[in-house]
Amino acid sequence: MDYSVGGEGHTILTRYQVGSAPGDSMTMLHEFLTAIDGLLYEIQIEGARHRAKNDVNSFPITWTGDASYGTTAAVHSQSAQYLDYVGRSLEGRRVRLSVFGAIAVVDTLDDDYRIPTTGLYGAGLTALTDFSTSSCAIDGEEIVWYTYVNLGINAYWRNRIR
């Protein structure tokens, strides 16, 4: 799924298990973004792409979720603020789902902050775990999500914006 926030374009990549379809990934992302809607500046969905297993090219597909998520428009500098859900597959492969445009991130020392998954953060985690039978890690195994969320300002995007 391709999206923009504060004038910068970003992509969220997901994988789905054998027996699932691209639509399952789009439904998962829609439910996840709806759950964390109050934690985000407005992100505009630009589209979705699909790449078949072992294929080199991705092809556009119709995005089935909302046209935008979040509350208010972000200024350019806020597009580097992120929230980051992390987990591991059953085989131990790391998984990360990051969303740029997070509201209320304070990062004056290049640190990130771990937030317990309560409230809207927990709703995001619930949305991800609800799709554990259709989403997967790079090794094709189910994902076990950690019970915290990382918040921060991405150094690459922060420096690029300056």
Structure confidence by residue, pLDDT tens digits, 32-57: 999 999 999 999 999 999 988 788 89
CA distance 159 to 141: 35
Based on the structure, what is the number of domains in the chain? 1
CA distance 15 to 25: 7
Q: Is 22 helix (H, G, I), strand (E, B) or coil?
A: helix
Question: CA distances (Å), 29 to each of 65, 78, 108, in order?
Answer: 8, 21, 30
pLDDT mean over 83-89: 94
CA distance 120 to 23: 24
CA distance 14 to 6: 23
Host domain of residue 7 = 2-161
pLDDT at res. 112: 58
pLDDT at 58 over 80: yes
pLDDT at 20 over 90: no
Please give the residue that has the higher pLDDT: either 110 or 138.
138
pLDDT at res. 157: 73
pLDDT at res. 109: 55
CA distance 56 to 73: 35
As beta bridge partners, residue 45 has 3
How far is Cα of residue 154 from the mean position of the Cα atoms in its chain? 14
As beta bridge partners, residue 84 has 98, 150
pLDDT at res. 111: 59
pLDDT at res. 119: 82
Q: Please compute, for residue 9, the number of CA atoms within 13 A of its CA located in the half-sphere on the CB side.
A: 5
